[in-house]
A and B are shown apart, each in its own frame.
Chain A
Amino acid sequence: MEMRTTFHKRLREIQFEIMVMGSMCSKAIVRSIEALKNRNQELAHQIIADDQKINDKRFEIEEKCVELIATQQPMASDLRIITAILNITTELERIGDYAVGIARIVIYIGDEPPLKPLIDIPRMADLTVDMLSRSMDAFINRDIEAAKKIVNEDDLVDNLYDQVFRELLTIMAEDPKTITRATRLMWTAHNLERAADRVTNICERVVFIVTGKMEEIGASKY
């Protein structure tokens, strides 16, 4: 018989809040790449403004967790879920910041002519957003196999990052006048690479919730 109905209801609500926050962050990354592709300054400004909502959501979730710890003294898997949520919410907040990073780059680029067609950077973004969305499923389903699989997929993002980096270096070597524009794209790719790394941290917390073991599953090469 369920004895702590109110507590478990509140704990479930916080987990749904994490899902909401995860979706806000996915959307921020998607929109940042859309802004980059379309040189959409207005959208870039909107992403920066909307990041405040992600930050607010993070503090809201943290406050609820602290309140549950203080008033309900959670134990065992409940305690692991709450501590994991405290970490996951920080990781998500940083992913939101990477979207802001890309939006700022869009503003710096302004109406400069494109350096090259954007192919690998949007692919990096697609992979990262897909990993993020599946990490949220793994979290809510307590699916450690899925979590471990997502961690391994970080290599794909890292490889694309390598590719973008090498390509941009070549462009810069051939024509030093492109250095400013190429560096901006490098920073965009870097933001996406970091965001994917944060997703792997979320997956490690999913494993912790289930097994109680804190372990680094796959170290990113960056």
Chain B
Amino acid sequence: MEGQNNTLMQNMVKADNQNKPERADSMDNKGILEVQGLSAWYGKTLAVKNISMNIKAQTITAIIGPSGCGKSTFIRCLNRMHEVSHGGRTEGCIMLDGKDLYARDADPVNIRRRIGMVFQKPTSFPTMSVFDNVAAGLRLTRFFSRRWELEEVVESSLRRAALWDEVKDKLHQSGASLSGGQQQRLCIARAIAVEPEIILLDEPCSALDPSSTLKIEDLMRNLVAQYTIVIVTHNMQQAARVSDMACFFLADQDRSGILIEYGKTSQLFTNPKDKRTEDYITGRFG
């Protein structure tokens, strides 16, 4: 029986090899974010190597890959957050609507308004009320001559983040009084309040329970009608459930993250082109 098992495994590998690995990308599709030859360093360590891909507008793009493959570094490059890290440096360019985010005259603050980010742990401001948490970014970027104008934007942001009904009676309580799932949606409300074009989510559900996770996933599907969403996730089922496009990152022999495969989620999870993607998503390594 053991011998048969070995033969079977060899045959499985042989069959997998017939799916010729090839460099997958969608360069022929015009995307809202065009990443060209992007590399990112921490000091002398090259964390992400020569990534080129187009992220399509009004789609959810999921980035999957094992720990240390540069997923989070890559996503942080997309809104110039990487350069804030110690020793953070990038090469290559990222075009948003045809303009390079890394051009000399590009304003990082403005870029971060246009490309919002939500992190792994809910980062609500504990000393601020629910209302002020959402209004915080707004007050920095827009001038409101009347209070009701601000209130209107806060309410609409909380509604779009599917949180309004749960917090409308406690807008002036501390943001920290909310549950983890609610705080994460509060962060999403804060991100969308400033009307970004793109929302980056870095492991947004890893600290949440299954029901809060499903709420965030539903929310993403609703938001994608208006925004472009890029999500980094360790949870492959989540990537398969929510995303339209998916890409697989892997660390190469130099431990630098490279893009292995980029394609439609339905294709990547049922018939990946690259054997390394296949092996990762079927749990043959990781």
Contacts and interface: CB of A to CB of B under 8 A. Distances in A.
Given A76-B277, A77-B278, 10 more contacts: A4-B284, A15-B8, A73-B237, A74-B282, A75-B270, A75-B282, A76-B272, A80-B271, A142-B14, A142-B15
- Residue from the set B4, B11, B12, B236 with the largest chain A CB neighbour count within 10 Å: B12
A67 B96 CA distance: 45
B253 interface: no
B285 A75 contact: no
B283 A7 contact: yes
Interface of B: 4-5, 8, 11-12, 14-16, 18-19, 236-237, 240, 269-272, 277-278, 281-286
Q: Which bucket holds chain A's interface residue count?
A: 20 to 34
Interface of A: 1-4, 7-8, 12, 15-16, 73-80, 140-142, 144, 209-212
Nearest to B12: A142
B285 A3 contact: yes
Contacts of B14: 142
Contacts of A15: 8
A142 B11 contact: yes
B197 to A, nearest CB: 31
A212 B12 CA distance: 14
Contact of A75 (B4, B11, B12, B281): B281
Contacts of A2: 283-285
20 contacts: A1-B285, A2-B283, A2-B284, A2-B285, A3-B286, A16-B4, A73-B236, A74-B282, A75-B282, A76-B270, A76-B271, A76-B277, A77-B12, A77-B271, A79-B269, A80-B270, A140-B11, A144-B18, A211-B18, A211-B19
